[in-house]
Structure formats: structure tokens, C-alpha cells
Amino acid sequence: MFGWFSPGFPLKTGSLAILLALLAGCVPAQQANRQRSQQTDPQTDQQVQPDPPSDRSTNSASPPPASVAQSPAPNPPQPKTFAATQSNTFRVETVTEGLEVPWAMEFLPDGALLVTERPGRLRIIRDGQLDPQPIAGLPAIVESGEGGLMDLALHPQFAENQWLYLAYTVRGDAGDLRTQVSRFRLTAAGLAEPLVIFPGAPGASGSTHFGSRLTFGQDGKLYVTLGERADPSRAQDLQDLNGKTLRLNDDGSVPSDNPYANRSDARPEIFSYGHRNAQGMAVQPNTGLIFQTEHGPSGYDGARGGDEVNIVEAGRNYGWPEISYDQQGPGLLPPLLLYETAIAPAGATFYTGSVFPQWQNDFFFANLRGQTLIRVVLNGSEVIGQERLLEREYGRLRDVKQGPEGFLYVATSDNDSYGAGRAGGDRIIRLVPNSP
């Protein structure tokens, strides 16, 4: 069962011993967490430290719903192997550079590429040319640490309604920083008809763990990731929206079939919980399953590493901070994929194009610290194997999207607060097949 980790991601013997002890039922998860933290030397680099959390309690969670509490312990990870395929069939082209922390990309129906820059600009690339003028009409955005202008999403009927959604950081009434989501109509003159569809939940004074990715599901609902604002216990508190995935209607109202819609002791917006900081999300084409990438501990809140890929489902608890890495606990879902060495996973997509036929329906996600694009080969929710592309060739990678011609576009992030900086600014590059 420990072949779950492909050869590139070896399982350390310390965590193996803890997992065996957990399976034997003799070490509570919290104890195992402490043991593991003591066994692993924290790595040090230019990671910024968050402000002190306001509450270190790990026991403030509302009790899980009966359906979750009674669910059986998840199956242990199954053996996985590397995909045999080598993807050295592409070349890399630079689409544009001179960007500042491009956080998210979306292609418009006409083939133009929209790009958010975290300082608070929305850019557009038409026919390979970056418009020097940012798109007008953005709201007031606070750039602070990991916060600023983050994700964008197009409404499923964008061609008819031109609705565009942005997730961005604002300052709340209490002076806190929080993630807000607004809808706009994209016009030739810029963004129009602004409508705040999610005003944001009370956040924190610090500038880390905002999330925030926006993705429409195949059910037409808008899914929103919110980080736990460097206050781990909030991820388990069902009356706090931080550390959650939210599920909203396209106007921000709450769907009546949300898992906690009829509970008085939980927020109805919540779809899944126990998340630390999910910065990638994509819907699997044939199944509608929602895949997320999530950052594991950074050293101050657990041994650095333990990054995750999860499939998020209604009402489920993804464990943070009760479990991380390969720990297990009743009603807590372990990750689909675990990366013991920190890679800082970010934006994600599924490939559905035709110019890379060997990549059909594969899951791709960009990695910041890992400076790589990871390709995961799947059979539904079963991992067949994975492969690392572009590793340490183009710096920190923030987002990945498929272009209209089937090329794979990747945004770099060397000019954020963790990056080394790059004189030419951040880039958008694309993977183009060598033999079209």
C-alpha cells in the first residue's frame, strides 16, 4: 500500500511507522502529528511568517453531521506507479512577459486570453499581443502578502451574458483582510454592472492563506475556495467560512441543496471543510468531480510539506488541522495525492484538447515552490501515474490553462514575495507539440 508514493515522492520511514501505529489504533492523530513534527527538520527559506493566529484551539469545530460522522474510515491509499509515458514531445514558447504575479488565466470564446495580476490589474492578450492598458472597471483591491486580485471565472453561459467573476482581497469593517467575489459584465469599455455576490467572511489581519479559486461545476454552481487565514482551527469550525469550499448560485445566493443548508449550527454556503489553503481547482470533464490542490503545513503549523490533491465532495471533511500528510482519522478524508516534500501546488486544469492526444483527460497543476508542472493520469478518481514537466526550467509556476488551439498555457510567478524576482517580469509560456 505504500507504493502510493511514486518513486519521486518517497515516503519517509518515520511517517511509515506513525501510519502503522495509527492503523493499529495505538496513537491518536494529534499525538502522531506532534511526533512527526519532531522527527522532521523544518526547512528554512524566505517563507514569510503569518501574523499570530487569534485562536490556537483545535476543538472549536461543530460536530460533523450524522451522515459524515457515521461514514466509514476511508480506504487506505492504493498502490500507484509512474506513468510510463514520457512527454518530451513539446517545445516551449513565450507568449508574453513583463507581467507582475499573474495569478489566473481564462480564455474568452474569441480566443483572447484574460490574465489577472495580483497587484490588482486585469490584462488581456489578443493575437499574442499584451494590451498595454489594463481592463478598466475593477473594484478597489487590497494587495497585501498573498492577497490581492486572485482568480477569475467565466459564467458557463458567458457567450450569452458576458458575466465574469473575480475573487480579490478587501479590507473589512473591522480592519481585517477578507476575500470578496464579484460578478461583472465584460464590455468593450471594460467591466460593467458590478455586483458583489459574496461580500467576504470576517477574515484576519494577516496576509496569508486567502485561497482563492473560483470554478463553475457541471451543476452550474460557483465553487469558491477560502484559506483558513493561518488560523488552523477555523478550518474545522462550520460557523466560519474560512478554510472551506463554498458553493453558491451565480448571483451569490445559497443553493437549497447545499449540505448544510438546513442546519442552524453551520453556514449554509459550505460545501466542504477542513481545508488549509486550496489554490487550485478544476472539474474533471467526464465525471464532474471537483479536484483541488491544497498547501500543507509551512513549518510553523506542522512539518513543512504534506501538499495535497483532493477530490472535494459535499459535506466532507478534508482533515486540516486534525490530520495532515498520511494520517487518518474517523470521518476525515486523506488526500488523493500527497507530496511529502513541499511543492506549493497552485492552479489546475484538465486537458481536453486534441494536439496532445496522449494527455487527453489528464489533470495538470502548476507548482510554485516545486517549480514544475505535474501531470496526473487518471481513470476516473483512480490515479494511474504522474509525471513532472518543466521542472526548474521556468521558475515558480502559478496557473495552467488549455488554449483554444489545444496548447497548454502556464503562468510564472517569480516576482511574488516568495520568488527570487526576474528582470523581465513574469511570463506566460505555452507548451506546443513538436509534431502537429
407 contributes a contact to Ca ion by CB under 5 A: no
Give the residue carrying C-alpha cell 492504493: 78
Closest separation between CB of residue 199 and Ca ion, Å?
Answer: 27
- 282-284-289-295 Cα dihedral, nearest 10 degrees: -40
Q: How far is the CB of 319 from Ca ion (least distance, A)?
A: 4
Q: Closest Cα to residue 360, out of 368, 350, 374, 369? A: 350
Q: Give me the least distance between CB of 372 and Ca ion, in Å please.
A: 21
Give 74 or 172: the residue with its C-beta nearer to Ca ion. 74
Q: Which of the following is catalytic: 155, 209, 275, 295?
A: 209
Say how many residues touch Ca ion, by CB under 5 A. 2
Could you say which DSSP state residue 327 is in? -
Q: Which stretch binds Ca ion (CB under 5 A): 30-38, 248-256, 281-289, 312-320?
A: 312-320
Segment lying near Ca ion (by CB under 5 A), choices 30-38, 155-163, 214-222, 315-323: 315-323
Q: Which is nearer to Ca ion, 50 or 243 (CB)?
A: 243
Residue type, 280: G
The binding track of 217-256 with respect to Ca ion, each residue x by CB under 5 A or -, is ----------------------------------------
Choices 1-9, 154-162, 310-318, 405-413; region in contact with Ca ion by CB under 5 A: 310-318
* 209 included as an active-site residue: yes
Minimum separation from the CB atom of position 71 to Ca ion (A): 16
Which residue in 19, 413, 60 sits closest to 239, CA to CA?
60
Scanning 30-38, 69-77, 227-235, 313-321 for contacts with Ca ion by CB under 5 A, the matching segment is: 313-321
Nearer to Ca ion, 277 or 386 (CB): 277
Does 345 engage in binding with Ca ion (CB under 5 A)? no
What is the rounded radius of gyration, in angstroms, for the C-alpha atoms of the chain? 21
Beta carbons within 10 angstroms of residue 43's beta carbon: 14
Evaluate whether 248 touches 200 at the Cβ level (below 8 Å).
no
4 touches Ca ion by CB under 5 A = no
Give me the 113-152 binding string for Ca ion, x by CB under 5 A, dash otherwise.
Answer: ----------------------------------------
Residue 365 near Ca ion by CB under 5 A = no
Q: What minimum distance in Å lies between the beta carbon of 310 and Ca ion?
A: 6
Please give the Cα distance from 168 to 152 (Å, whole number): 9
Q: What stretches of 328-419 adopt beta strand conformation (E)?
A: 337-339, 345-350, 363-367, 372-379, 382-389, 397-402, 408-412
Residue 319 binds Ca ion (CB under 5 A): yes
Residue 9 in contact with Ca ion, rule: CB under 5 A: no
Are 34 and 27 contacting, i.e. CB atoms less than 8 angstroms apart?
A: no
Task: Report how far residue 343's alpha carbon sits from residue 311's, in angstroms, rounded to the nearest whole number.
Answer: 18
228 in Cβ contact with 60 (< 8 Å) = no
- Find where cell 518517497 sits: 10
Among 168, 216, 291, 318, binds Ca ion (CB under 5 A): 318
Q: Does 291 bind Ca ion (CB under 5 A)?
A: no
Residue closer to Ca ion by CB (options 101, 336) is 336
- Residue 435 exposure: Cα atoms within 13 Å on the Cβ side: 5
Q: What is the grid cell recorded at 430?
A: 505555452
Smallest distance from Ca ion to CB 82, Å: 23
Nearest to 239 by CA among 269, 267, 271: 267
Query: C-beta of 197: minimal distance to Ca ion in Å?
Result: 27
Q: Which stretch binds Ca ion (CB under 5 A): 36-44, 184-192, 258-266, 318-326?
A: 318-326
Strand order, beta sheet including 177-187:
149-154, 163-171, 177-187, 190-198
- CA 315, 307, 407, 389 dihedral sign is negative
Q: So which residues are the catalytic ones?
A: 209
Summarize as ranges the residues that interact with Ca ion (CB under 5 A).
318-319
